[in-house]
Amino acid sequence: MSVSEMFAALQGALGQDQDIREEIRKVVQALEQTAREILTLLQGVHQGPGFQHIPKKCQKAREHFGTVRTQMESLKTKFPADQYYRFHEHWRFVLQRLVFLAAFVVYLESETLVTREAVAEILGIEADRERGFHLDIEDYLSGVLTLASELARLAVNSVTAGDYARPLRISTFINELDSGFRLLNLKNDSLRKRYDGLKYDVKKIEEVVYDLSIRGLSKEATVGTGGEK
């Protein structure tokens, strides 16, 4: 094979790779749009009246995740199944955002932490790497850390809305989350930096709880709910 023939073959391979990336980019853009729609919907819970409509907002968000599953099915067809990590950077950010949104919905519904397997089911992908297009553990953890920041904000806005019991429950949840992350040996630089931000979320929520305590509102909230949710 001559040099010109070699480079012609390389150009063909490059062109094919660029075509794949362009097809992936189109689907990722659609996923990003759906993620924005879900986020816009859920942001309503931070407003006073929004607390009264949490179940409806979660139900509507679940409907949007139906669109996400369809888009994920399309994404899976755009590249060779054995080259997940070759193209992973294209959808990594939006996948982490979708993990956060799924985790936020589940928290609003049950005040529990969604499992990686449950998130994968919500998104219509696999939890196990061996089964194909899957939810990488680090992407799951990144989404959960974003949830922590969102809950810190929710704790503040709950007080504004007159819901004094919710910040106490959020505080308990975030402290359990922090304890869980302390068990992990995080070596990924990006994820480690994200985790370092968790301590600020913990501190922010602790300040909210402390403020409620000195104002006598935390005791009132506990009595008002019978010590339960």
Determine contact, residues 53/161, Cβ cutoff 8 Å.
Answer: no
Compute the distance between CA of residue 199 and CA of residue 193 in angstroms, rounded to an integer: 11
Please provide residue 123's backbone torsions phi and psi, each rounded to the nearest 5 degrees. Answer: -85, -10
Compute the distance between CA of residue 20 and CA of residue 209 in angstroms, rounded to an integer: 50
Torsion on CA atoms 142, 120, 93, 109, rounded to nearest 10: -70
Which residues are known binding-site members for Mg(2+)? 150
Which residues are known binding-site members? 150
Compute the distance between CA of residue 48 and CA of residue 69 in angstroms, rounded to an integer: 31
User: What percent of the chain is helix, strand and coil (3-state, nearest 5)?
Assistant: 80, 0, 15
Q: Tell me how far CA of residue 74 lies from CA of 62, 70, 128, in angstroms.
A: 19, 7, 19
